Chains A and B, each alone.
Chain A
Amino acid sequence: MADLQTYSHDAGWKNTVLRGLLYLVLILFAAYYLFPLIVMISTSLKSLDEIREGSLISLPRVVTFDAWNYAWNEACVGVECTGIKVYFWNSVKMAIPAVLISTFLGAINGYALTKWRFKGANIVFALLLFGCFIPFQVVLLPMSQVLGKLGLASSTPGLVMVHVVYGLCFTTLFFRNYYVSIPDELVKAATIDGAGFFTIFWRIILPISTPIIVVSVIWQFTQIWNDFLFGASFASGENAPMTVALNNIVNTTTGVKQYNVDMAAALLTGLPTLLVYVLAGKYFVRGLTAGSVKG
Chain B
Amino acid sequence: MASLTLDKVRKAFGPVEVLKEINLAIEDGEFLVLVGPSGCGKSTLLNLIAGLESSTGGEIRIGDRVINDVHPKDRNIAMVFQSYALYPNMTVRKNITFGLEIRGVSAQERDKAVADVAKLLQIEPLLDRKPSQLSGGQRQRVAMGRALVRDPDIFLFDEPLSNLDAKLRVDMRTEIKKLHQRLGSTIVYVTHDQIEAMTLASRIAVMKGGILQQFDTPQNIYERPNNMFVAGFIGSPSMNFVDATLIDNGGKLAVSIERDGGPITLPLFEAPESYKAYVGKKVVFGIRPEGLTHKRTGSDEPGSQYVNFDSKVEVIEPTGADTMTVIDIAGKEIVARVRPDRAPTPGESMTFSADMSQISLFDPETELRI
Chain A residues within CB distance 8 Å of chain B: 183, 185-186, 188-195, 199, 204, 207-208
Q: Which residue of B lies closest to A186 (CB)?
A: B85
Q: Which residue of B lies closest to A184 (CB)?
A: B85
A188 & B85 in contact (Cβ 8 Å cutoff) = yes
Within 8 A of A (CB), among B78-92: 78-79, 81-83, 85-89
In angstroms, how far is the closest chain A Cβ from the Cβ of B77? 7
A192 & B50 in contact (Cβ 8 Å cutoff) = yes
A185 & B85 in contact (Cβ 8 Å cutoff) = yes
Whether B195 is near chain A, meaning CB under 8 Å from some CB there, is no
A191 & B73 in contact (Cβ 8 Å cutoff) = yes
B99 & A194 in contact (Cβ 8 Å cutoff) = yes
Contacting residues, chain B, for A193 (C-beta < 8 A): 73, 98-99, 102, 146
In angstroms, how far is the closest chain A Cβ from the Cβ of B139? 12
Residue from B77, B82, B83, B87 within 8 A of A192 (CB atoms):
B77
Smallest CB-CB A-B distances: 6 pairs? A193-B99, A194-B73, A207-B89, A185-B85, A189-B85, A194-B102
Contacting residues, chain B, for A189 (C-beta < 8 A): 79, 81, 85-87, 146
Contacting residues, chain B, for A204 (C-beta < 8 A): 87, 89
In angstroms, how far is the closest chain A Cβ from the Cβ of B45? 15
Whether B136 is near chain A, meaning CB under 8 Å from some CB there, is no
In angstroms, how far is the closest chain A Cβ from the Cβ of B150? 8
Sample of 27 A–B contacts (CB below 8 Å)? A185-B81, A185-B82, A185-B83, A185-B85, A186-B85, A186-B87, A186-B88, A188-B52, A188-B79, A188-B85, A189-B79, A191-B52, A191-B73, A192-B50, A192-B51, A192-B72, A192-B79, A192-B99, A193-B73, A193-B98, A193-B146, A194-B103, A195-B102, A204-B87, A204-B89, A207-B89, A208-B88
In angstroms, how far is the closest chain B Cβ from the Cβ of A122? 15
> In whole angstroms, what is the CA distance A195 to B72 when docked?
10
Contacting residues, chain B, for A191 (C-beta < 8 A): 52, 72-73
> In whole angstroms, what is the CA distance A195 to B90 when docked?
15
Contacting residues, chain B, for A207 (C-beta < 8 A): 89
Within 8 A of A (CB), among B91-131: 98-99, 102-103
Contacting residues, chain B, for A194 (C-beta < 8 A): 73, 99, 102-103
> In whole angstroms, what is the CA distance A14 to B141 when docked?
59
A192 & B73 in contact (Cβ 8 Å cutoff) = yes
In angstroms, how far is the closest chain B Cβ from the Cβ of A257? 56
Contacting residues, chain B, for A199 (C-beta < 8 A): 102
Contacting residues, chain A, for B98 (C-beta < 8 A): 190, 193, 195
In angstroms, how far is the closest chain A Cβ from the Cβ of B15? 15
In angstroms, how far is the closest chain A Cβ from the Cβ of B117? 15
Q: Which residue of B lies closest to A192 (CB)?
A: B72
> In whole angstroms, what is the CA distance A208 to B86 when docked?
12
> In whole angstroms, what is the CA distance A190 to B83 when docked?
14
In angstroms, how far is the closest chain B Cβ from the Cβ of A231? 39
Interface centre among B82, B85, B103 (most CB of A within 10 A): B85
In angstroms, how far is the closest chain A Cβ from the Cβ of B323? 43
In angstroms, how far is the closest chain A Cβ from the Cβ of B141? 15
Contacting residues, chain B, for A190 (C-beta < 8 A): 87, 98
In angstroms, how far is the closest chain B Cβ from the Cβ of A13? 49
> In whole angstroms, what is the CA distance A195 to B73 when docked?
8
Contacting residues, chain B, for A188 (C-beta < 8 A): 50, 52, 79, 81, 85
In angstroms, how far is the closest chain A Cβ from the Cβ of B16? 15
B25-57 vs A, Cβ < 8 Å mask (1 yes, 0 no): 000000000000000000000000011100000
In the complex, besides A185-B82, A185-B85, A204-B87, 5 extra interface pairs with C-beta distance below 8 angstroms are: A186-B88, A188-B50, A191-B73, A194-B73, A204-B89
Contacting residues, chain A, for B85 (C-beta < 8 A): 183, 185-186, 188-189
Interface centre among B51, B79, B83, B87 (most CB of A within 10 A): B87
> In whole angstroms, what is the CA distance A161 to B341 when docked?
84
In angstroms, how far is the closest chain A Cβ from the Cβ of B331? 46
Q: Which residue of B lies closest to A207 (CB)?
A: B89
Interface centre among A189, A192, A204 (most CB of B within 10 A): A192
> In whole angstroms, what is the CA distance A190 to B85 when docked?
9
In angstroms, how far is the closest chain B Cβ from the Cβ of A269? 38
In angstroms, how far is the closest chain B Cβ from the Cβ of A195? 6
In angstroms, how far is the closest chain A Cβ from the Cβ of B361? 43
